[in-house]
Amino acid sequence: MSKLSFDRILQTQGFGTRKYCRELIDDGEVSVNGEVIQSYKTTIETDGLIFSIFDEEWTYHEHLYIALNKPANFECSRKPSHHPGVLTLLPEQFSWRDVQPVGRLDHDTTGMLLMSDDGPFIHAQSSPKRHIPKVYVATTAEPVSDELVQQLLSGVQLHDEPELLAAKICRQLGTHQLEIILEQGKYHQVKRMLAAAGNHCAALNRSAIGQLTLDSLGLAEGEWCYLAPEQIALLAPDNQ
């Protein structure tokens, strides 16, 4: 439990500089439960706080934990070069909070992308030492064969990796589709493994991280949601 002045609350939530947040309050643009905040010095308990700016409601979050259903042709970079960045799909103030993608998906890869402004969370989720399974659905250019599935399960050699890389689980979903579960998280891993096994990745979607599935979130492409504590718990590698 903590109390903060309202200009500080708005600043921590990404609504601008301390000076700009004070101006918003002085202009009568900030309210709680329909009552306009009269002074930026007003302190209030942040736990469960819901406030309005320009008549739009926001809930106070000490840290942001977000899941995005990433569409194709968006880059997981704060400084995109060839396509729009994924941050353009989120409210503008999230950029002020230094929200970052947790790991990366290629610009043409779709599906679940975690984003946060919590540094330790980002580090923990990105660390290969945690062996967090990530589930991908790969559409292949050539038909899927039993031999391809076995190769991916046994391991394939990538030119810049000292050891074979293998899928934790690999199963055929259709004539040109595979479900592949990986724990390593190497650069372009699914695409490179398929190429090394003699096929080619035509499309790729990440459908789950840990035990948290994209289907359970009900997000259309381009949509995002806050993650509740129980959903965050599903991201743990040892979750049963």
User: Catalytic residue numbers?
Assistant: 106
Cα 179 to Cα 167: distance, rounded to the nearest angstrom: 10
| One-character DSSP codes across 115-161 | EES-HHHHHHHH-GGG---EEEEEEESS---HHHHHHHHH-B--TT-
Residues 6+ apart with CB under 8 A from 212: 67, 112, 227, 231, 234, 235
Other CB atoms within 10 Å distance of the CB of residue 239: 12
Q: Cα(190)–Cα(197) distance, rounded to whole angstroms?
A: 11
State the burial class of residue 31 (Cβ atoms within 10 Å of its Cβ: 0-12, 13-18, 19+).
middle
Distance between CA 14 and CA 107 in Å, rounded? 26
Tell me the C-alpha distance between 102 and 117, whole Å. 10
